[in-house]
Structure 1
């Protein structure tokens, strides 16, 4: 096997999204309308710093237009049931083209097991080839680097 082919194969199994910013409901219109994955978090004020921070990953999804998906998601009210008084939903996204979007979202769901993805087929099943994910950017409460093996 040539070195060029080996490098190409390795790069096909590595997905490396940059998680962009955090948005709340008031700034949701600023989420890019690009293809990618998105994360929904519970955010609360840290009692020591008095600063609003990400507390828990609630949901991972994917869509060709992340802003649209977040603004019109049918589970929005369900996500809110996990909030305590004074808490907010915060959103993050990682750009990802159509070819790898479902694979990346499946890896994220399989590795993180968000509570609002309880009905997802990817909680205990990963039908894609072994995939290593390297997340960078705004990644609080997300594993930075992980590998998910094929689980039929």
Structure 2
């Protein structure tokens, strides 16, 4: 696997995923079937350019097979029901091995507090060691660099 697609962990405290994507429902079958985290966004046309753009982070999840996790997520209909006419769901993902996948997902949820992660234990709690996340790639509406401290 090319190095640019790997989740690099420079130290135990720094996770640096490249966010790949964006994919719509029509291109969901093109999402890699690798282990990682994923973000679900609301996309809408920019009023000036009329180009579809990411507007809001709706959900952060993780799965050993991101494509499968997205295609079979039980909340897909809830996400769709939230959209206004002309809006779409867009997806991005960052590759992450099993060892860091839950920690990275928890950090993303804790820092971003997405609308549809309302039942997540990680909104107000972060049971992992202090973690700095540096996101690069397709990162619209995501904090580029942030640190999450343990909160039992």
Same fold per superposition (TM over 0.5): yes
The residue that corresponds to 2:138 in the other structure is 138
The residue that corresponds to 1:33 in the other structure is 33
Number of residue pairs aligned between Structure 1 and Structure 2:
144
| Residue 143 (structure 1) shift | 0.1
Q: In 2 relative to 1, CA 72–10 (structure 1 residues): closer, same or farther, beyond 3 Å? A: closer
1:112 aligns with 2:112: yes
Q: In 2 relative to 1, CA 13–87 (structure 1 residues): closer, same or farther, beyond 3 Å? A: same
1:62 match: secondary structure:
strand
Distance in 1, matches of 2:82 and 2:47, equals 19
Distance in 2, matches of 1:138 and 1:64, equals 20
The residue that corresponds to 2:150 in the other structure is 150
Distance in 1, matches of 2:127 and 2:76, equals 27
Two-structure CA RMSD over aligned residues (Å):
1.1
Distance in 1, matches of 2:87 and 2:50, equals 13
Map 1:1-152 to 2 at 5 A.
11-152=11-152
Per the normalisation by structure 1, the TM-score is 0.93
Stretches of structure 2 that go unaligned for 5 or more consecutive residues are 1-8
Distance in 2, matches of 1:86 and 1:64, equals 32
Distance in 1, matches of 2:134 and 2:52, equals 26
2:141 match: secondary structure:
coil
After the TM superposition, which segments of 4 or more aligned residues of structure 1 sit over 2 Å from their partners?
none
The C-alpha deviation readout for 1:95-152, integer Å capped at 9, x for no partner, is: 0000000000000000000000000000000000000000000000000000000000
Structure whose alpha-carbon radius of gyration is higher:
1
